Each structure stands twice: as structure tokens, then as C-alpha cells.
Structure 1
Amino acid sequence: MTTIFWMLVGLLILAALLIVLPPIWRSREIAAADQDQRNIVIARQRLVELQEQLQTGTLTQAQYEEQRAELEVALSDDLDIPTQAKASGTKGRWMVFVLVLLVPLTALTLYAGLGSYASLNQTSDNSAMPGPEDINRMVAGLAARMKSNPNDAQGWLMLGRSYKYLQQYPEAADAFAQAYRLLGDQAEVLLSYADALAMANDGRLSGKPAELVFKALALEPNNMTGLWLGGMAKAEAGDAAGAVQLWRKLEALLPPDSEARQEIQTLMANVENRRPEEQPTEAASPGIDVEVSLAPELRTKISPEQTVFIYAQALSGPKMPLAIVRKQVSDLPLTVNLNDSMAMMPEMKLSRFDQVKLIARISKSGNATQQPGDLIGVIDSVAQADHTRNIIVIDSEVK
């Protein structure tokens, strides 16, 4: 790093000298004839101007003759001045040697007084992303500001999104409700409000969330978030045909070969291929027992209030949890039972899959989406028919 730095310094000084020195080094001779010719050209131009002024009536004949005589006298005086314009070929070249020494010396002196090479090696600590505590403090500050300024609609939207990021869904729903009060029926506001209400109700869209979603779709029929949530609401209500209709519309709007489009296609296939006789009976599935603990060597990397997600996923297709439980690190070790009552939507219940993946993850940000730095434990495949307790040890870090 030191070698590169000084190479750059040298190149910059060299560039500065290449700009400054050539004009000084080159010798110039200004011939006397050149000066005379310029004076004659100027006089001729002035004479043309006088003639034009005479023709337009700006000058009288007498004024014209007087100014022409003055011009001739001035030109005669200029041509009689002896010139010393021929410069020596070496005059001023002494400045070259001065600048060659002065420019680097001045640059290095200023750098020594004002610069710091150590600043090039500073760590990224100053630009580090804010941690969970910083985010919580900023959100609390925004919430306090909104109490004193309750008519700031954009502030309520920002607060709602912040609470949603922190997975504080009841608070997010309250904030979006305030934004809805101020902004009225705007699709994005309606959908944000609906989503927060649903998440505060364990992911269920029935009732007011569904009402808000379909009101948003009436305003913007091609809103992709609205189509997704509308399909979920239809599926939750048992209207498979209605869900597929909305998702097909969404599928046409998504980029070809995108992961989102593939998930939509899988969901539609699951809904369309399910026959009425395949509907689950009232006899509830016993579910899957999961015991979760934390590896001792990772205890120093977490705090008691951080969120623990324990969930089951299908081995292929959408990554939406088939059943999910949310706890805190302070609850560990613990045992939970994942079952159909924890499904995100009726068409994606745990009992419909013979083999599932089990995951326990500590989210440092509180976000349901897996992020680098989260701690995780996984059982890659568990058979529904196997009713033994499944033990997950959270023992690795997401990279």
C-alpha cells in the first residue's frame, strides 16, 4: 500500500510539472514586423469604421477628416517606436529549475502538515451499518416525533414501515391506520395497512385485511402486491378458482424465469391439483415436535431479546413456511409442536407434505427474511410419519 501511495504521489507531481514547464521552456521571438503589422491592421479597421460613420451621417465631413488625421498621426508614432521585442532564447528558463524543485517540495510540505497517510488505512468502522439497538432508538425517536406532529402522513408511513421491519406488527398496523386516516384510499397505503394487520393476526387475511386488499385492487387492478395478497386471501377463504385467477394475472406481470414467478406457478399448481376429496378432515394432524437449543460457543454472539423463528418448509417449491413459531433467545432451550394451525394459508399446510425441512434461526435484525449474520440450525429432511422428537441445535452462522 505504501509503494502504491508514493507512486501515485510521484505521478501527480509529474503531471503538474508537464503542464507548467513546457510553456516556460520553449523560447519565443516576437519580430518587430509582427508588431507593425498589427498596428496597421488596427488602423485599417478603424478607418473602415470612420468611413461607415461618415456614410450613415453619424460623423460630418469635418469630423471625419479630423479623426482620420488623428489616426494617421497615431499610426505614424507607433511605427516609429523602436522595438525590443526579440526575446532571448533562454530568458525565463531559470524558472524551470526552480519549479522542478519547488512543486514537489511544496506538495510534500503541505502533506506533512495537513495530510495523513494513516487515513488511507482507516477501517470501515465509521461507515458501519447501524445495529439493532441503533435502529430501535431511531424508531423510538420517530414515534415520539409523531406524537407531537400527528398530521404528518409521510411520517406515519415511515413509522409503519420501520415497525414492520422490526416485526412489531401491531404497532405497524396502528401507524398505517394513521396514514390511511390522513391519505385516504391510496393503493399502497391500503396494502401496507392490510399486510401489517394480517401479520399481527398470525398471517391471516380474513376480515378487514382482505377488505383493504380488494379495495386497493379496485383502485389499481394490476398492482402486483395487491394481486399476491388478493390471491392469498381468496385461497384462505377456500376460493381456489378466485386465487388462481388473481395469481395468473400476477404471473403475466412478473419477469420470465424469475423466482417470484416460479413460486406463483407452484402455488397455482398446488391449488389446481387439489381435489375436494383431498381436503383435510376435522381430525387434526399431530404435527411435528421440535426441540431447539443453542450451541454453547455461539452464546456470546446473541442477546436474550433477539427473535427465534422455528418453522417447516417444503423440500421444493415456495419457501413460505408451512408452519412457524416465533420465540426469543431467552426462551431457549425449548420444545414446540409445528402443526396445521400455524399454516400461513390453507393450501400450504404442513399435513399436505410427506417430507419437510425443519429450520431454527436466530434473527439479529428481527426480520423474517434470512440475512447474513443470523444463527441457524437445520434438519434437511423429516418424514411426517416419524413422530419422534426432532432435535435442532443452532450451531452455524449464515454467510
Structure 2
Amino acid sequence: MTLLWIAIAVLLLPALWLLVAPLRNARRLHDQQHAFETNDTSAEQNVAIFKRRLNSLEAARERGDIDAERFEEDRLELERSLLEDTAVRTRRPLKPAGAGRLVVPIVMVAVVVVSVLWYQQKGAEGDLVLLAVQQEVQNDPEGSLDMYIKRMEEQAERQPDNPNVWSALFPVYRETGQMPQAVDALERLIEIEGRIPPLLAQLAQIRFFMAERELTDEVQALVDETLEQDPRQPTVLGMLGIHAFDNGDYEQAIDRWRRAVANIEDPNTAASLRDGIRVAQERMGVAPEEAAVEAAESSGIRVSVSLDEALADRVDGDDTVFITARDVEGELPPLAVVQAQVAELPMTVVLDNSVAMSPQAQISQVREARLMVRVSPSGQAMPQPGDLFGDLEGVSVGPISDEEAAEVVINRVFE
């Protein structure tokens, strides 16, 4: 931490230098301004110019170039101009060169104090302390997991509102079998971060195993709350698959695990779930080859399509509706296409390998797809100006469920 404060001090030095630098030139600027005000002869110059112009005006009157009335008008104009140019303007007394010097140290102190307070509120000092603790334990010849836990618990007392303390503690508690402590740490993290699906799923999973793999009322409430926010949450789906497997419902276990695999990012966890799927298939007497074909055939997206009421008067009941799934990168041909009519809306369809346009481009080949629904009065496959459409990005491809569907609303017009 000493290095951190040294770094902050080094960064503050240029700012403090900018505050002090103007004082170095204060004396020179004061002398220049004083000399200018003392030697200012602009008033005398203006009087001399007035006299020359008045002489020229009188000479013109004597020559008869102007009459007496015009002479008086021009002379008054010259006098008015002279008065404006030579009017005495009260100048503020020139302050001493050292005036205001006391303010600079005050501002410098304020800059330092505000910077330090801002960093303490918004900076990552606490996280740097956690990193230092981890490195210290790793480099200690007698370092151990118990030492790490003890040091992190000390930081939890010093930084009770730092979410990174609790996110580091609860998995260590879980791995060492200290489930009550893991639950306490995770609940504290949820208080800080909010009731977001990943944290609720972790809490549900820990309580599930603490209850000897039973869906107690408390666990079920956490599961319902998580799935309400994120129906594809893989941790909860994996846990529900375990519960179904334990109860001999292998078909439901496979369905849950397949949906979890489709949304999970950790390759090790995904591999474990696939092993579980293979075991469940063996219990059901399904050969691996048949299971692979079945999995491919059952992968897809259930899509609910509706038309925005504001655009209802722009279409007819017999206009063609194209419901298409494409890969996110747009490198493959359409993966699945279903054709319908406006009169059938709202409707729900399934996009799977059975509605693929080509064996080389099937929806089971991708994990995510982009949905495009278009209404074509002309029935043309290519979009035309005036066609209506709606789309949905990043829809997960996985086992098709009757419980959920991706909703696409036709609410825009091709220009």
C-alpha cells in the first residue's frame, strides 16, 4: 500500500506544480503592468490628433469648402470623439505581486484532501489489499488454506461492504465443507450486490446439498425466484437435473442438463453434465448413437410470433410470414425457416432441424441464433421496401421446452 500512496503522490505533483507555477511570474507581470500604466500617453496622443483634425476643418471653412453650419457640426463631432477617447477612467489600484499567495497553499491542500477522499470512496484500495493478502499467503513458506481463510476473515471485518471479500470467501468455505459459513458469506454478498440470478442460484445449490439433495421449501423458493428472472440459469437447471436423476426421472434429468449445457460457459462443468446425460441415457437403455441423433433432433427454438396492433392495418390476412433462424455471425445460410400467413398470427412455431433449408446448415450446429420474422405482401423471399419485420438477437438453442418460447413482435417497416 506504501507504493500505492507514493504513486498517488507522484501523480499529484504535476497538478500542484500547475498551481504554483503562476506565482513565479507574478513579479514580472506586476512590473510590466505598472510600467504600462505609468508610461501610458494615449490621452496626449488623442489631444494631438484632435488639434490636427480641427486645424484641417478650419482651413476647409476658410477655403469655402464647407459652410459655417457644417463646420459647427463637424467640430462638435470631433469634440465628442475627443471626450470619449480621453475620458478619465478610474483604474483599480494595482495589487502587490504577492497578493493571493496564501490562497495557493489552501487550494493545494484542498486538491490533495479531495483526491485522497475520492480515491477512498471510488478507488480500489480494498481490492489491492485483498491481492496483497493472496500474494503474501502464496509466498509464505508456511502458507496454507487455513491461513488464507483467516486473513480473508480479517479483511471481512475491516471491509464488510466490499463484495470481493465475500465472493472470495464463500467458494473457499464451500470447498472446505464449511457450508454454514459459505451460506453466511453468500447471503452477505447478495445483500451487497442484490438478488441477481447467479448468486441466488449458488445459494439454492448450497442449500440443496445441505438438505441432502432435497428440494425443501426454502430451496424451491430460491429456484422459483431465480428462474423467474432467468429461465436459462445453468446452475439451477443442473441442480434440478440432479434432483430428477435421484428420483429416477431420467428423461427430465436429461432435459434439464441439456438446457444447462446449452447455456454454460465452463467447459469442465459442461463435460460433467454431458457425462451425467450419458449415464441417464444408459439407465433408460438408449444407445449413445441414438442419443446423439435424438439430441440433435430435439435441439431448436420455440418461437412465439405476434403482430404489433399499430401495424395491423398495413397487412392482409393472406400476406406471407417468414419465420427464420440464422447464425449470429451471418456466415451460414438460414438454419431454419417456417412459412405461414398473417391470419394465423399470433402463433407459436418450433424451429429445429426438420425445417432446415440444407443439411449443411442446421440449427443444432449453433448455440445461439438470431430470429427474424418478416411479413411479405408480395410473397418474395428477399426483403422488399414496405415489408414488416421484427427480430431477436442471441437466442439460445437447446432442448425444446413447452414451458418457454422466444417472443418476437413484428413492429417495424423495411425502408
Q: Same fold (TM over 0.5)?
A: no
TM-score by length of 2: 0.30
